[in-house]
Amino acid sequence: MERRVVVTGMGALTPLGNDVASTWCGIKEGRSGIGPISRFDASNLPSQIAGELRDFDPRSVLDTKQARRMDRFQQIAYAAAVQALHDSGYEITPENADRIGVVMGSGIGGLQTLSEQFKVLHERGPSRISPFLITMMVVDLAPGLISILLGAKGPNFSTVSACSTGAHAVGEAAEVIRVGQADVMIAGGSEAGIVEIGLAGFCSMRALSTRNDEPERASRPFDAERDGFVMAEGAGALILEEYEHAKARGATIYAEIAGYGSTADASHITDPAPGGEGAARAMEMAIADSGLSKDRIGYINAHGTSTVVGDEAETEAIKSVFGDRAHDVPVSSTKSMTGHLLGAAGAVESIISILALREGFLPPTINYEHPDPKMDLDYVPNQGRSKELDAVMSNSFGFGGHNVSLIFTRAE
């Protein structure tokens, strides 16, 4: 009998707030977390806006020495993991440590540290490079440090699949539990790429919105006047647990991970496959894995980045999967409020999807002002609304043709 996987803890830091409660409050209010970039002078860049974390102090969870030896993406990954573990009420002990693992991903990793150390190299020479450059830069040190600091000795690795990273982490961590290699997993994603070189690279690709005069209205998924995504930073972490293990300790069970689908477009380095073919296969795979009928899916938290080709392809994929019923399934993009958290997006949006399921609330797609004639689904425009939900789907698609779909249900 296959082991069931449930979610028993959640933690998040986003442009809407540095915990799950404040983030969810912002989502329900339809509030934008986007503003002018304050981390550096962005006046020479085409895109000068982002979704930044506000008032995050790493010393709230780390001592000064630890914080100095960690890149920002690692600091917030650890902060989210601590929140999630505390929320779960689970304690890691020497007796259970080898049954607890960590899968924490990032799309870019320690870009801030790398950028700073390049400057040191060119201005002061190689002898002045930090001995912590490599450990602060590489993606796998996010789960590595979480493991070291919390004492989790089970399976430990990273996922790196661009904007699908966080969703891949959740899906793969669930698989670890399903096959019996662990009882509890800390899973999620983290990103801190609001660095000049990062913005410049995405600007060069013409991937970012340049609506600098109206930052709060810049991220507008599915709107006819969308002009690119808005960079954001943040982290999301979930405590995944084998169902009987969670039940035995009387844990609060937020949701069950019922389905996981993962595919590749094998098409283009940035653009989705024509018609969203790869995305559609991921959704079909997740539905088949869940064993649910399609009419049980009551809400889709879309990848919806606010790019011209991406939003259209996802709409086409949803139509191909759900057929005539596609127009009856509410679809919204919370990136309209948070911006695009890249490698953290899938984890944060899993949390948002779970809260939508639990509270029976459909998050809005804000800034939806001009319907695109090519896209005619119910995008929950501008105002969230109540709806009793049985199962929800969360989509994440990334550069390189990575596609992930997750399905969450109430734990029966």
Predicted confidence (pLDDT) per residue in 363-401, tens digit:
999 999 999 999 999 999 999 999 999 999 999 999 999
Copy the structure tokens of residue 204: 């060069």
Q: Do domains 5-248 and 261-409 have the same CATH topology?
A: yes
Annotated domain spans of the chain: 5-248, 261-409
Q: What confidence score (pLDDT) does residue 411 get?
A: 87
Q: Based on the residue annotation, tell me whether 203 is a catalytic residue of this protein.
A: no
The ranges of the chain with pLDDT < 50 are none
Q: What confidence score (pLDDT) does residue 412 get?
A: 75
Polymer length in residues for the chain: 412
Instruction: Write the secondary structure of the chain as one string of H (helix), E (strand) and C (coil).
Output: CCCCEEEEEEEEEECCECCHHHHHHHHHHCCCCCEECCCCCCCCCCCCEEECCCCCCHHHCCCHHHHHCCCHHHHHHHHHHHHHHHHHCCCCCCCCHHHEEEEEECCCCCHHHHHHHHHHHHHHCHHHCCCCHHHHHCCCHHHHHHHHHHCCCCCEECCCCHHHHHHHHHHHHHHHHHCCCCCEEEEEEEECCCCHHHHHHHHHCCCECCCCCCHHHCCCCCECCCCCECEECEEEEEEEEEHHHHHHCCCCCCEEEEEEEEEECCCCCCCCCHHHHHHHHHHHHHHHHHCCCHHHEEEEECCCCCCHHHHHHHHHHHHHHHHHHHHHCCEECCHHHHCECHHHHHHHHHHHHHHHHHHCEECCECCCCCECCCCCCCCCECCCEECCCCEEEEEEEECCCEEEEEEEECCC
State the CATH class of domain 5-248.
alpha beta
- Give the rounded distance of the alpha carbon of 251 from its chain centre: 24
Kindly give the pairing relationship between strand 184-191 and strand 100-105: parallel
Q: What confidence score (pLDDT) does residue 254 get?
A: 98
Q: What confidence score (pLDDT) does residue 2 get?
A: 79
Predicted confidence (pLDDT) per residue in 170-218, tens digit:
999 999 999 999 999 999 999 999 999 999 999 999 999 999 999 999 9
Q: Based on the residue annotation, tell me whether 163 is a catalytic residue of this protein.
A: yes
Predicted confidence (pLDDT) per residue in 270-286, tens digit:
999 999 999 999 999 99
Q: What confidence score (pLDDT) does residue 107 get?
A: 98
Point out the catalytic residue in the list 163, 203, 245, 402: 163
Point out the catalytic residue in the list 168, 203, 245, 340: 340
Q: What confidence score (pLDDT) does residue 1 get?
A: 66
**CATH of region 261-409:** 3.40.47.10
Q: Based on the residue annotation, tell me whether 402 is a catalytic residue of this protein.
A: no
Q: By percentage, how much of the chain surpasses pLDDT 70? A: 100
Point out the catalytic residue in the list 168, 203, 245, 303: 303
* Structural contact between residues 91 and 70, judged by C-beta atoms closer than 8 angstroms: no
